Structure formats: structure tokens, C-alpha cells
A = this chain, B = another copy of it.
Amino acid sequence: MDAVTVADSRRKGDVEPLVRLAKVDMAAVDALIVERMQSQVPVIPLLADHLVAAGGKRLRPLLTIAAARASGATGPIEAPVKLAAAVEFIHTATLLHDDVVDSSDLRRGKVAAHLIWGAPSSVLVGDFLFARAFELMVETDRMRALGILATASSVISEGEVLQLTRAHDLNLDQETYLRIIAAKTAELFAAAAEAGAVGADADEAAVQALRAYGMNLGLAFQLADDALDYGGQSEKLGKNTGDDFREGKVTLPLLLAAARTAGREDAFWDRTINKGERTEDDFRRARELVFGTGAVGATLDTAWDYADLARASLAPLPESDWRDALERLADFAVSRVA
């Protein structure tokens, strides 16, 4: 089965309905983010603003807001707004540290902060934002939300260490790969949604439903990202494709391709991944193998399975525009891979 056929048989998702619904709440989140990243120490707001201004979709705080609204909150939602800003701070802190850890050159289309202000400042400003996240959470006076995001933070760093120590050799098994992406990516999606529901004093069924939604959505997103790094379904390579291969990072597309070419291409994978000897031509070859074996299509199939699970997780919630928008977002997590 060809990857394009698979994807075309699925729904076209969209993030815009959710962005539109959350516009007012997200303006409050953005204002709070800018307010709380200030410091009398000049490099801190400069560095933080470099990432924050670069934006991105603010998907994680958007989930916190959507979870609060989808579980029935009306009127002002002070606690979820603060929790959403805290979630974005935790995410930004992990990006700053990740870029140092991976020696990345780019982030959100801009030069990575550590290349401008140095790795030491990136490490310390990450710590600052992480601490500010907890200060914001304390203000909500919701110990349960604090516990959710504290645990998420320790799980994320465990996932990052696991990736650092295990994701650069072909002995990585699919189970460990899933453990890594669940910890380093999906856990924060899950915690962001769960904390939003808790911040809105939602009932337990809604809290659990939104946590499950976030976890499945996060897995779908990361799997789709990992497919996208090999160009997704497109024959044309977009910007930033090939980063994982260049770093020798083993993800599902590569894992499947290596398994499906066992006995035939072992020397190629051993040299490029285990021994870390890679050229630009090697990426082209890897990509041919990843596509030729249907590994990208299979990765996207798995991503769609999680997107379906994410949609299904929402069943306990009352029908609403917010729930519909979250369903569209689940599909978007995968259908954005063009």
C-alpha cells in the first residue's frame, strides 16, 4: 500500500477552528507569558523573547484552554490561563535545554538561542522559565494541577535522557521508541489537557478523558513529525528534513526500514547509525529505503491509529464546538503531513 493512498483515505484535520474559538483566552495567555518572562536581569527577557516571539502554534497551552472549555467552563478562567502559560514555559524551557543537548542550529525557523547567547545562558534561562512555571501554578492554588505538571516534567527529562542514551543505535526496539516519544512529547500534551480540566474543576470523567486525548494526540503528533523528517508523503524535501538522520537519531521510519531491509542493507545502517559515519548522499539513500519499504506509510498508519484513539477519548465529554475542534485537531496532527 502506498503512503499517499493511506493518508487520502483519512479525514483532513484542521487546527484553525480551535485557534478561532480560543482567541480571547489565548490573548490572555500570551499577555501573561510576556509579563512573567520579564526579569531585571537583561539577558533573560531577551533570550526568552527570542523563542516566545518566534511563536509556533502554542499548541500545548491551547490544549490547556480547550480542555477547560470543553469540560464546560464558561466566563473567565483564571486558573486555566495561568496553567496554560506555565505549560508553555515548561515547553520553552525544554526546547532551550534540548537545543543545547542536541547542539541544534535552528529552532522555530530562527537561529537557536544558544548560538546567540551561549549554551550557559540557554541552560540558566531554561531553569528560570521552569521555576516561573511553578510560581504561576502556585498562584492557581490547585495542588493537583501542580502534581500533574511536576510529574510530567520529571517524565519528560527521563524521556530525553532515554533518547540521548538509547536512540542512537539500531538495537532500539519499537517498544522503547514508543516509551521515548510518550515521555518526551506526549506526556506534556496529556498533562496540559489534564491540568486544564483540573483547573476548570471538571468532573473526574472529563479529566481522564482529556488526559487520554492529550496522550494519544501527542503520540500521533510525534509519529507524524518523525515521518515528516523523511519528507512525509512528498517526494520534494521541505526545509529541516533529514535532521533526525543527520543526528543519527533512530525513529520509527528508520527502525522499520532497517528491519525490512535486514540481510540486505545491514552494512549501510551499521555504518550510518551505529558507527555514525554519514554523508549527505547517505540521507538520500536512507530516504529511498524508508520510502521503498513503506516505512513512512506504516509510521503514518500508526499515527492515524493514535489520532483515532484521541478522537474516541473525547466521547465522555458533552457535545460542543470545543469538542468538535479538538476532534479536528486530532486529525490535523497527522493530515498536516502532506
Q: Please state if A154 and B128 are interface contacts (CB–CB under 8 Å).
A: yes
A29 on the interface (CB 8 Å rule)? no
Cβ-neighbour of A125 out of B130, B156, B161 (below 8 A): B161
A88-107: contact bitstring with B at CB < 8 Å (1 yes, 0 no)?
00000110010011100000
A148-176: contact bitstring with B at CB < 8 Å (1 yes, 0 no)?
00110110111011101100000000000
A132 on the interface (CB 8 Å rule)? yes
A123 on the interface (CB 8 Å rule)? yes
Chain A: interface size category: 35 or more
Cβ-neighbour of A127 out of B97, B120, B132 (below 8 A): B97
In the assembled complex, the Cα of A157 lies from the Cα of B42 at a distance in Å of 13
Nearest chain B CB to A104 CB, angstrom units? 12
Given contacts A141-B143, A165-B43, whether A154 and B135 have CB atoms under 8 Å apart is: yes
In the assembled complex, the Cα of A115 lies from the Cα of B150 at a distance in Å of 28
Q: Which residues on B sit within 8 Å (CB–CB) of A138?
A: 143, 146-147, 150
Q: Which residues on B sit within 8 Å (CB–CB) of A150?
A: 131, 134-135, 137-138
Within the oligomer, what is the number of copies of this chain? Answer: 2
Q: Please state if A161 and B97 are interface contacts (CB–CB under 8 Å).
A: no
A121 on the interface (CB 8 Å rule)? yes
In the assembled complex, the Cα of A146 lies from the Cα of B126 at a distance in Å of 19
In the assembled complex, the Cα of A134 lies from the Cα of B143 at a distance in Å of 11
Instruction: Pick the most buried of A42, A102, A138: most chain B CB atoms within 10 A of its CB.
Output: A138
Cβ-neighbour of A41 out of B44, B125, B162 (below 8 A): B162
A267 on the interface (CB 8 Å rule)? no
In the assembled complex, the Cα of A322 lies from the Cα of B115 at a distance in Å of 50
A234 on the interface (CB 8 Å rule)? no
A11-52: contact bitstring with B at CB < 8 Å (1 yes, 0 no)?
000000000000000000000000000011111100000000
Cβ-neighbour of A135 out of B93, B128, B147 (below 8 A): B147
Given contacts A146-B138, A151-B135, whether A157 and B124 have CB atoms under 8 Å apart is: yes
Q: Please state if A127 and B157 are interface contacts (CB–CB under 8 Å).
A: yes
Given contacts A141-B143, A158-B44, whether A153 and B134 have CB atoms under 8 Å apart is: yes
Q: Which residues on B sit within 8 Å (CB–CB) of A41?
A: 158, 161-162, 165
Binding site for B on A (CB under 8 A): 39-44, 93-94, 97, 100-102, 119-121, 123-128, 130-132, 134-135, 137-138, 141, 143, 146-147, 150-151, 153-154, 156-158, 160-162, 164-165
Given contacts A137-B150, A138-B150, 5 further A-B contacts (CB under 8 A): A42-B165, A119-B119, A127-B130, A127-B157, A135-B151
The 4 lowest CB-CB distance pairs between A and B, nearest first, are A131-B153, A131-B154, A134-B150, A101-B120
